[in-house]
Amino acid sequence: MAVSGDPKSRGELRSFDNSDELATNLAEYIAQLSDISVKDRGVFTIALSGGCLINLMGKLCEAPYSKTVDWTKWYVFWADERAVSKNHVDSNYKLAKDGFLSKVPVLNSHIYSINDNATTEDAAEEYEFTIRQLVKVRTVDVSAISDCPKFDLILLCVGEDGHIASLFPGHPALEDKDNWVTFITDSPVPPPERITFTLPVINSASNVALVVAGEENKANALSIIFSDDNDDIDALSLPAQMVRPTDGELVWFVAKGISSEPDGSNSGHGCPP
């Protein structure tokens, strides 16, 4: 594993020779944050997204983590969801349920999925309300800086256009400072209707992990994001580049095969099985 980057700006960069090594390190990172949060606050609040992430979390379902992680203290949320039913192949809930949550003893009552039986507008409003109730009782911590929920960890996959959650380049939802959860009806990547955390919520988390794996053509977004040209307009307009936790830690997990780093091979990687 190679570690670099400026923690104050773009975060810590962890690059790996392949997706398997990335998955091993990601599992250890999540398990450690879970331990710390459970010791500090008695709970671990984690927000998932879709894409390659869930496959890469697979090692958490195996020893030692299957036994050592305090799964009963986990509270699980989604940073974004597509407006499809929960049994649809495009559902981020289904992806996480089938690939991860059904394999670990997280309590069903601690799994906060997004309503698939309402309009996207109503589902977003309802999800924000649910999170507000959990903030009131401090199951979800609160940021003293932004008054937003302060999740212990938000896990995001970076799309090949640099999108994170369902926040896409140039989309007005990126400017939303008033809501914790919002909706879009015109996603450039299907399905068009989605519900998503807003940037203020993402940037209020204690920890954010940005995962870049699975597709060779993500190298382009990466090279823009890690460009040394701080005035690069393209870089500043990429949602992934807008992730800058105000009072938290940012770590990038990059599979070297798609890295823009000089030692990356650019040979491309699929998700691990």
**What is the contact surface with ligand LXAUTJHC in residues (CB under 6 A)?**
49-52, 80, 82, 92, 156-157, 159-160, 165-166, 189, 214
In this complex, which beta carbon is closest to ligand LXAUTJHC, that of residue 70 or of residue 98? 98
CB of 187 to ligand LXAUTJHC, least distance (A): 7
In this complex, which beta carbon is closest to ligand LXAUTJHC, that of residue 169 or of residue 214? 214
> d(Cα 47, Cα 243) in Å, to the nearest integer?
15
CB of 165 to ligand LXAUTJHC, least distance (A): 6
In this complex, which beta carbon is closest to ligand LXAUTJHC, that of residue 166 or of residue 204? 166
Structure tokens at 270: 């699929």
CB of 112 to ligand LXAUTJHC, least distance (A): 16
Amino acid (one-letter) located at 93? Y
> d(Cα 9, Cα 25) in Å, to the nearest integer?
22
CB of 90 to ligand LXAUTJHC, least distance (A): 8
Structure tokens at 145: 């800086």
Structure tokens at 8: 């104050």
Residue 4: strand pairing partners: 13
C-alpha atoms less than 13 angstroms from C-alpha of 154 in its C-beta half-sphere? 30
Name the residue whose CB lies closest to ligand LXAUTJHC. Answer: 51
CB of 168 to ligand LXAUTJHC, least distance (A): 9
> d(Cα 240, Cα 163) in Å, to the nearest integer?
6
Residue 147 CB partners (closer than 8 Å, separation 6+)? none
